[in-house]
Amino acid sequence: MPSFDVVSNVALNEVDNAVTQAQKEILQRFDFKDTETEVEKTGDGIVLRSASEGRLEAALKVLQEKMVRRGISLRSLEVKKPEPGAKGAYRQLVEIKQGVTIEKAREIVKLLKDAKLKVQASIQSDHVRVTGKKKDDLQTAIRALKAQDLGIDLQFTNFRD
pLDDT tens digits, residue range 14-23? 999 999 999 9
pLDDT tens digits, residue range 86-128? 888 899 999 999 888 899 999 999 999 988 889 999 998 889 9
Q: What is the set of domains in the chain, with CATH numbers? A: 3-8+100-160 (3.30.70.860), 12-96 (3.30.70.990)
Order of all β-strands in the sheet with 155-160 = 119-124, 127-132, 3-7, 155-160
Q: Using CA atoms, how far apart are residues 137 and 60, in angstroms rounded to an integer?
A: 41
pLDDT tens digits, residue range 5-51? 999 999 999 999 999 999 999 999 998 888 889 999 998 899 999 99
Kindly report the pTM of this predicted structure.
0.83
Task: Tell me what percent of the residues of the chain surpass a pLDDT of 90.
Answer: 61
Amino acid at 87: K
For every residue of 92-124, which 3-state class applies, written as one string?
EEEEECCCCCHHHHHHHHHHHHHCCCCEEEEEE
